[in-house]
Structure 1
Amino acid sequence: MHQRRPAPPPIIKPATMAFLVGLLTLICTSFYSLAIQWRELFTVDAVRSSVEFLRGFAPPELAWHFLVKVAQGTLETLSMSALGTGIAFVCGIALALPASSRFGATTRLMIRLALNILRSIPELVWALILLIAAGLGPFAGTLALAVHTTGVLGRLFADALENLPTAPEATLRINGAKPMAAFFYAALPQILPQLMSYTLYRWENNIRAAAILGIVGAGGLGQMLKYHLSLFQMQQAATVIIAMLLLITLVDGTSFRLRRKLTSH
């Protein structure tokens, strides 16, 4: 007797198919529910008004005194992102230890809940909250970046620690090493390149966020952009936008090269 060959597994699982159908339904419902007049985007008047609006940005303002202000705003934005990411790196490691089941299941659940709350609130909302306590300026923006990024990095660091092989750390503990000493000598060196890669990637995101946080008064290039746009000074705004693009491109390139070096070993 010939044995029946087992039926090949489905290309798409039923649960995946149901999710895709639900997602497609949501997209179609969104197009239907939103009163978007697509035809008006391609009319002659729309094209003409768009061209006139873009002409207002040319040529960018290149006066020396204004370029100095833009350079100061650029350094302020860079400092906000770097300091906020650095604070989040330290706090993320500190919170990742209890969030990775090293101090019991109850502590893990509580810390992970706190990390989820921190990262679920966007940087812009944190900035609006912290502006009340810290006032206008880059200090509130830095704190907003640090708080949100702590939630993101803390969760990533905790997952990395939980997936780490426990044999090297357990060996040191058996030979009399204290828990923190075993962590710093056995666990941390194994995952440090991965942690740094996560941190550099978040730095890229924080550069973009820092440039936007200034719109609510948190300093940097975003605050300059809001000021000049509110006064319809389009040429000055164009210079600020160009500075934003150059800064983001520079940081993205630097971070990408550093992450490649860290992950190539």
Structure 2
Amino acid sequence: MKIAIDQSTSSMSVRLPDPPQVPQLPLAPRWRFSTVALLCGLLGLVAASFLSLSLMWSAFFTQEALRTTGEFLHGFAPPDISVPFLRKIALGTAETLSMSALGTVLAAFAGVALGLVASGRFGTIARAGTRTLLNVLRSIPELVWASILLIAAGLGPFAGTMALAAHTSGVLGRLFADAYENTSPLPESTLRTNGVRALPAFLYTTLPQTLPQMMSYTLYRWENNIRAAAILGVVGAGGLGQMLKYHLSLFQMHQAASVIVAMLVMVAAVDGISFILRRAMTR
């Protein structure tokens, strides 16, 4: 607010502030034909999926189905919380965590090496071949990898660990390669121009720029591997999944309920820890 004084009349006038100017918003971009065609194609695929599948919604919500489901879920209560069985669950939980952690660490090291080649640092041919390998590794699910490796390594957590490492190597290798390519090449090229060799220039410039993003990717994949490791036991790869399959096959529902609760608690705890670590890394 501005105050003006008129000396001739010795009067004081008050000048109100100018009203704030409302910024003009930019015009919304027009819809392109390719965007509309893509949306129509996706809607068509969803409609074709519903038409091609014989979904029996009426049978799913019948009273008989609800009664059978309620009886099945009632068989899980109460969970077995005896001390000997809780010790078995603790060992299974530790085995599942070890499988996921070791598989993720192995995949992270492999992803760093394969990502360098896949980012085009060693030529176009090496880049295309490595990206094809990464596509193959991540296209095969963990359960399929575990089924293949169980034939070679036998039952146990070793096959599950290698299955997680194989699939996650393909995922992290692709993400790391994209992170290398999206990093500004100016700092590394400056060191190379001044006579620094390729490896020290990469370690001092490109790697520190991409390391927080790479760590965030690795922690997120560790969360996924926790869930995958709990499922791999269904095919005999050890951990809580193998315990769950064993007790369900014998219709020991109380013990199976305890294993399911342990899985939920483990996944929730790991998700919380990983979220805190990812926020610390990205900051």
* Interval containing the TM-score (normalised by the shorter chain): over 0.9
Gaps of 5+ in 1: 1-7
Aligned mates of 1:176, 1:33 — CA distance in 2: 63
User: Which digits, 9 at most, give the CA deviation of each residue in 1:185-235, with x for residues without a partner?
Assistant: 111111111110000000000000000011011110001001111111111
Unaligned runs of 5+ in 2: 1-26
2:149 aligned with 1:130, yes or no? Answer: yes
Q: Residues 123-147 of structure 1, C-alpha deviation per residue, up to 9 Å, x if partnerless?
A: 1111111111111110000000001
- For the residue of structure 2 that corresponds to 1:165, the secondary structure is coil
Larger radius of gyration: 2
Equivalent AA in structure 1 for residue 199 of structure 2: M
Looking at structure 1, the residues matched to 186 and 161 of structure 2 have their Cα atoms a distance apart, in angstroms, of 39
Deviation per CA, 1:39-94, whole angstroms, max 9, x where unpaired? 11111111111110010000000111111001000000000000000000101001
Amino acid at match of 2:123: G
- The reply to whether residue 47 of structure 1 matches residue 88 of structure 2 is no
Distance in 2 of aligned mates of 1:255 and 1:235: 31
Please point out which of 203, 224, 246 is paired with 2:243: 224
Q: Does 1:112 align with 2:131?
A: yes
Alpha-carbon separation, structure 1, partners of 2:179 and 2:194 = 25
Which of the numbers 169, 188, 200 marks the counterpart of 1:150?
Answer: 169
Q: Secondary structure at the match of 1:183?
A: helix
CA distance in 1, matches of 2:251, 2:37: 49
Q: Give the equivalent residue in structure 2 for 1:3.
A: none
The whole-number CA distance in structure 2 between the counterparts of 1:14 and 1:235 is 57
**2:52 is aligned with what amino acid?**
S
Match of 2:119 in 1: 100
Q: What is the TM-score with the length of structure 1 in the denominator?
A: 0.94
Match of 1:174 in 2: 193
Aligned length: 257
Aligned residue in 1 for 2:100 = 81
Aligned equivalents of 1:180 and 1:224: distance in 2? 47
Question: How far has the Cα of 1:97 moved from its partner?
Answer: 0.8
Q: How many percent of aligned residue pairs carry the same amino acid?
A: 65
Match among 247, 258, 262 for residue 239 of structure 1: 258
Amino acid at match of 1:27: V
What residue is the counterpart of 1:197 in the other structure?
216
1:27 aligned residue: 46
* Partner SS for 2:158: helix
Superposed CA RMSD: 1.2
Q: CA offsets, 1:135-187, max 9 Å, x none?
A: 11100000000010000000000000011111111122122221111111111
Report the CA distance between 1:11 and its aligned residue.
4.1
Identify which of 69, 76, 90 aligns with 1:57. Answer: 76
Q: Secondary structure at the match of 2:211?
A: helix
1: CA distance, partners of 2:193 / 2:39: 50
* Alignment partners' CA distance in 1, 2:31 and 2:272: 38
Counterpart amino acid of residue 179 in structure 1: A
Higher mean displacement: 10-19 or 22-31:
10-19
Structure of higher RCO (CA pairs closer than 8 Å, 6+ residues apart): 1
- What is the one-letter code of the residue matched to 1:246? V
Alpha-carbon separation, structure 2, partners of 1:31 and 1:104? 46
TM-score using structure 2 length: 0.88
What secondary structure sits across from 2:183 in the alignment?
coil
